[in-house]
């Protein structure tokens, strides 16, 4: 039961993170465009594999699916240990800071997540929101299991 709780909590955090990104990138000035980092990663992988680059909606869909899977696994870690709330906040902050600092170090164009101070702050806040969501779901699902 614990593993399924963790996965569901992680999925909830990942979905909230991705929904906020998706809605905000269409209407919030200086919103981060994390999907562009994921698309750059797809391009690097297919180049190394000698495969044709996916384009348009296919590339975007692969990036979105990859983000959701990766963030689900990441946020599922909220279920380890006793204090899921602290872990959720920490995972969110670390994920957001990593999303701002790591792309350039990994050879990606980091402008989609670091073009302005506002963009950087929103990236960190939204990842933290995902962590808090995962913690809340983990807490609720564990309480439901023991009721």
Q: Would you say residue 78 has pLDDT above 80?
A: yes
What are the tokens at 35? 């999907």
What are the tokens at 118? 């506002």
Tell me the pLDDT tens digit for each residue of 111-141. Answer: 999 999 999 999 999 999 999 999 999 999 9
Total-model pTM: 0.91
pLDDT band at 147 (very low <50, low <70, confident <90, very high): low
Q: Of all residues in the chain, what percent are helix, strand and coil, respectively (each to 5)?
A: 80, 0, 20
Q: Would you say residue 1 has pLDDT above 60?
A: no
DSSP 111-134: HHHHSSHHHHHHHHHHHHHHHHHH
pLDDT of residue 2: 62
CA–CA separation, 104 vs 40, rounded Å? 11
pLDDT of residue 103: 96
pLDDT of residue 132: 98
pLDDT of residue 99: 96
C-alpha distances out from residue 145 to 29, 75, 83, Å = 42, 20, 17
């Amino acid at each position: 039961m614990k593993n399924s709780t963790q996965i569901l909590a992680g999925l909830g955090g990942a979905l909230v993170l991705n929904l906020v990104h998706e809605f905000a990138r269409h209407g919030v000035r200086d919103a981060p465009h994390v999907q562009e980092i994921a698309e750059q990663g797809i391009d690097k992988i297919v180049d190394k594999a000698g495969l044709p680059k996916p384009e348009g909606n296919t590339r975007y869909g692969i990036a979105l699916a990859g983000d959701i899977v990766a963030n689900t696994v990441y946020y599922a870690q909220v279920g380890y240990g006793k204090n899921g709330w602290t872990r959720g906040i920490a995972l969110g902050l670390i994920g957001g800071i990593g999303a701002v600092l790591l792309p350039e170090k990994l050879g990606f164009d980091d402008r989609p997540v670091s073009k302005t101070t506002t963009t950087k702050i929103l990236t960190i806040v939204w990842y933290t929101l995902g962590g808090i969501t995962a913690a809340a779901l983990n807490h609720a699902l564990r309480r439901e299991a023991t009721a």
